[in-house]
Amino acid sequence: MRIRRMRPEDLPAVMEIEALSLPTPWSEDVWRQELASPFGLYLVLEEGGRVRGQIGARRAADELHVTTLAVHPESRRRGYGRALLEAAVTEEHGIRRVLLEVRPSNAPARAFYAALGFRETGHRPRYYGDEDALLMTLDLPGDAAAPPAGA
């Protein structure tokens, strides 16, 4: 298993995983714009030469905002989601807080974030159009390279 920067040629596999994982996957145009942006961090996890999961995040000062995270349904519960989140935090030095939105109805993702030490810190009405979002926050210890608590 290895984690590396996402490349445009990864998009077919990445978009397939998203389509299998999330109710409103990004279009190819959005993915290409995000990959071209200097503000985005996009990583993929490969196993046996195949992409099995991905994470996207944007940094603002010492906060990392996770914008997308998905692991192929056949590859879940192997620690890949945790590894992707840890890799994003490690890649961006000096991160003190990780933030993300999650659907209240997404029980597996909420359990995953809780297992990693995230707390529910807010509520964004109609964030998804059809559903509110819960804002989840993970405060990291002072050491910039430290992995998420609970890892």
Ligand X SMILES: CC(C)(COP(=O)(O)OP(=O)(O)OC[C@H]1O[C@@H](n2cnc3c(N)ncnc32)[C@H](O)[C@@H]1OP(=O)(O)O)[C@@H](O)C(=O)NCCC(=O)NCCS
- Residues annotated catalytic, as ranges: 101, 113
Of residues 42 and 80, the one with the C-beta less far from ligand X: 80
Relative orientation angle of helices 28-36 and 11-21, to the nearest 10 degrees: 120
Minimal distance, residue 112 CB to ligand X, in Å: 4
Minimal distance, residue 39 CB to ligand X, in Å: 20
Residues 14-53 that bind ligand X (CB under 6 A): 21-22
Residues 85, 88, 93, 94, CA torsion sign: negative
Query: Which single residue brings its beta carbon nearest to ligand X?
Result: 81
Q: Where are the beta strands (DSSP E) in the chain?
A: 2-5, 40-47, 50-60, 63-71, 97-102, 119-124, 133-139
Q: Are 68 and 31 in contact (CB under 8 A)?
A: no
Show the site string, 116-145: x = touches ligand X by CB under 6 A, - = not: ------------------------------
When binding is defined by CB under 6 A, the residue of 1, 19, 60, 111 that contacts ligand X is: 111
Sorted by sequence, the CB contacts under 8 Å of residue 37 that are 6+ apart come out as none
Q: Residue 76, Cα to own-chain centre: how many angstroms?
A: 14
Residue 65 in contact with ligand X, rule: CB under 6 A? no
When binding is defined by CB under 6 A, the residue of 69, 88, 95, 140 that contacts ligand X is: 69
What is the distance in angstroms between the CA of the first residue and the CA of the last residue of the chain?
17
Residue 109 in contact with ligand X, rule: CB under 6 A? yes
Residue numbers of the site for ligand X (CB under 6 A)? 21-22, 69-71, 76-82, 100, 102, 106, 108-109, 111-112, 115
